[in-house]
Amino acid sequence: MPILLLAGGIALTAGTAAGLAPVPALAGGFAAAVLCAVAIRPSLAAYILLGTTPLLVGIDRGRALPVLRPSEAVALLLAAALALRFVITRRVSSHARGAVGLTRIDAAIILLAVTSSVLPLTWMAVRGRSITHEDILYALVLWKFYGIFLIVRFSVRTNRQVSRSLVIILAASALAGCIGILQSLGVGGVSGLLDRYYSPLGQGVLTSGRASSTLGSSFSVADVMTYCLAIATAWLLQGGRHRVVLYALSVVCVLATVASGEFSALIGLAVAAFSVGFVLRRFGRTLLGAAIGAVGAIIVLQPVIQARLAGLDPNSGLPASWADRLSNLRTFFWPQLRGDYNWLTGVRPTAQLPDPSLRLGFVWIESGHTWLLWTGGVAMLIAFFVFLGVAIPAVARVARRRSDAVGVAAVGSFTSLLVMAVLMTFDPHLTLRGGADLSFSLLALALVDQHLSTDRRVAGRPQKPG
């Protein structure tokens, strides 16, 4: 704390003396404080990243900063701080060695990132297609998530730090979930405030009656809450302390997931219940708890449920949004994929096409597997399944072998990967902001090696969530 105050005070004084306005000077002071603190205590990088992401990730590029989203700016600042620490020490310590070495999971993520960026951009150049600014931004998305994965790997190295990270994840996500629940019920001015700062592209188009919260998307809310529910459930099943708090968090997660108003969220909940029960071999308690929670959430959130049921197609019985997305795929995306061997090489990284009839003027790909083929062709589709084939067994082994905080993180990671794999049928959940940030972070936490832990007293036994 003294270091934070000293660094901030020096930067604020220097900025004011240089003629900067108080706000830029204060921002500079904050950045300097973070750089110094993280360089001294690397675990702060993960804590800051995990604590701010659920609250900032929904703010679009250009709303608060001219080029970056606030969440991206925070990630870059933390990456710079960790790099500064490495430069200052000028040696690869035992702390850094475990984070630097590439694993099979690193290789799988890199393969996925290359097939979503370098490969499609190369094919575009070869085939004479113009590469736009949007293509570059979309091509960087998976590299950004790999960067988040590395930030957590570099900064969290002990079981106790993993435990603190999980507490921060649950606390920040629960706050976002509570905001989303209030939003879905139309309480106070929550919806208006969110519409002002967290509406996609600043267009004021947040869907009424659904929880998008500070994540800016009802799909993101459902993903994050489902993953956090898996964490809280695993901690309860592993004998974690503060059980009342964990039960309360589980209730918030279930309510917020249902409040998202997404039919796919219910599928995600079912997959999550199966995942936790399967990996911990406790199907009975997990499925019973999921059923009770879902019924209770449906009763409490009747307005949200009724609004969604009113939107069912009378002919097919399916949600109208599902019929719309299928129509968009057939009209805009599948014809281009079928032509000119585009399914083999991909079309372009930009996953949207203009549609003047829509308020935002664009239509997005609402099918994860179509998005994979559209972006990187068959190579990216294969890379996606390679990633799943490498990551899922790896975290499953950790989840079954360990009953400490690392094991809980592994259960959360296992769940996030299975939920994402299933829901990719509907949307590109692999890169969905908020959900993807948490999924890659949990994957990094699940890979913390026990032999690197300096907190050996807590390894191998259930940990309290705080």
Residue 461 confidence (pLDDT): 43
Three-class DSSP category at 238? coil
What mean pLDDT do residues 432-453 have? 85
Out of 7-11, 187-191, 332-336, 418-422, give the one with best mean pLDDT: 418-422
**pLDDT tens-digit readout, 84-101:** 888 777 654 444 444 456
Residue 340 pLDDT class (50, 70, 90 cuts)? confident
Residue 64 pLDDT class (50, 70, 90 cuts)? confident
Residue 98 confidence (pLDDT): 44
What mean pLDDT do residues 196-218 have? 72
pLDDT at 273 over 60: yes
181-190, 284-293, 352-361, 447-456: the lowest-pLDDT one: 447-456
Three-class DSSP category at 201? helix
Residue 304 confidence (pLDDT): 61
Residue 1 pLDDT class (50, 70, 90 cuts)? very low
Beta bridge partners of 363: 353
Residue 454 confidence (pLDDT): 38
What mean pLDDT do residues 253-269 have? 87
Residue 126 confidence (pLDDT): 93
Q: Quote the CA–CA distance of 245 and 247 in Å, as a whole number.
A: 5
Residue 15 confidence (pLDDT): 44
Q: Quote the CA–CA distance of 277 and 191 in Å, as a whole number.
A: 36
Query: Which of 226, 227, 225, 248 has the alpha carbon at shortest distance from 236?
Result: 248
pLDDT at 193 over 70: yes
pLDDT at 66 over 80: no
Residue 290 confidence (pLDDT): 66
Residue 207 confidence (pLDDT): 54
What mean pLDDT do residues 34-49 have? 90
Alpha helices (H) in 130-203, listed in sequence order: 133-139, 141-155, 159-184, 190-197
Residue 2 confidence (pLDDT): 45
Tell me the percentage of the chain whose pLDDT exceeds 90.
48
For residue 319, report the phi and psi dihedrals to the nearest 5 degrees: -60, 140
**pLDDT tens-digit readout, 68-127:** 888 999 999 999 999 888 877 765 444 444 445 688 999 999 999 999 999 999 999 999
pLDDT at 256 over 60: yes
What mean pLDDT do residues 314-341 have? 79
Q: SS3 helix, strand, coil % of the chain, rounded to 5?
A: 70, 0, 25
Whether the CB-CB separation of 254 and 297 falls below 8 Å is answered with: yes
Name the DSSP class of 189.
T
What mean pLDDT do residues 161-168 have? 96
**pLDDT tens-digit readout, 306-317:** 665 555 665 655
What mean pLDDT do residues 429-447 have? 95
Mean pLDDT score across all residues of the chain? 82
pLDDT at 399 over 80: yes
What mean pLDDT do residues 347-354 have? 87
Output the CA angle 276-277-282, nearest 5 degrees: 130
